Amino acid sequence: MAVTDQAILAIKQMIIDGELRPGDRLPPEKQLSERLGLSRNSLREAVKALEVIRVLDVRQGDGTYVTSLDPQLLLEVLGFVLDLGQDHSVLDTLAVRRMLEPSATALASQRIDDGELDSLSTLMAGLTPESEVGDLVAADLEFHRTINRASGNPYLSSLLESLANTTVRARVWRGHTQQGSVGRTIDEHREIIRALRDRDAERARSWADIHVAGVELWLAAAAAPEIDQ
């Protein structure tokens, strides 16, 4: 299990045990990291991830609070951390997306116009490895929507958009728990744009395959049973 996931589950356990209740403030970062036996960086990443799914509320200059959700609802939201890794329907969806999206990208390389290519470049220009994961995922959805529409096949584009929407949660979670995934995603997007500008169908197909496979491989590893060392 990833260290960040350990931190997430440790905070969840504190809520289950009643040590932290909705509205309570978390102990100071240094104190909590020492108590849990985790690095402050790991704890910080866990807090960011739990903030995205609205379990924690980070108030600048005030501290980090457990949200005021109903306790049962709070635990259900937290439960998705484990469910995500065990839900093979998401893996199946990603596998289908990997079969189709590289072909759509290859088709787009022959049909996308300069205006659409410029829009893709502008979309990526505002992102850096330090960008918020939510901003990246929103840009990612628009990035692939533009390319898939440029494939010239409306049915394929509509199907891929539906598949993409069902995997948003997995992509957000990956961005918060896999180190370097934001920067890697941005780099892959830029390589896809280069291949599209060069009208190189096979290179566009290959980079799209690598790009979609990244989330699939991460989730498959997260879902794999732990092996005793």
pLDDT bucket at 45, cuts 50 / 70 / 90: confident
Contact 196, 112 (CB under 8 A): yes
Please tell me whether residues 51 and 102 are part of one structural domain.
no
pLDDT bucket at 226, cuts 50 / 70 / 90: very low
Residue 81 to residues 4, 47, 115, 173, 226, Cα–Cα distance (Å): 11, 13, 40, 8, 16
* pTM of structure: 0.64
Please tell me whether residues 48 and 100 are part of one structural domain.
no
Please tell me whether residues 109 and 191 are part of one structural domain.
yes
Please tell me whether residues 175 and 127 are part of one structural domain.
yes
Domain membership flag for residue 229 = no
- Total count of domains within the chain: 2
The CATH number given to whatever domain includes residue 58 is 1.10.10.10
pLDDT in tens, 100-121: 999 999 999 999 999 999 999 9
Residue 195 has pLDDT above 80, yes or no: yes
H-run or E-run covering 24: none
Domain membership flag for residue 34 = yes
User: What's residue 181's pLDDT?
Assistant: 87
% of the chain residues with pLDDT over 70:
81
User: What's residue 227's pLDDT?
Assistant: 38
Last-in-domain residue among 25, 52, 80: 80
Please tell me whether residues 13 and 76 are part of one structural domain.
yes
Domain extent at residue 54? 3-80
Domain membership flag for residue 228 = no
Please tell me whether residues 156 and 215 are part of one structural domain.
yes
pLDDT in tens, 121-180: 999 998 999 888 778 888 998 999 999 999 999 999 999 988 887 777 677 767 767 778
The CATH number given to whatever domain includes residue 118 is 1.20.120.530
Please tell me whether residues 54 and 92 are part of one structural domain.
no
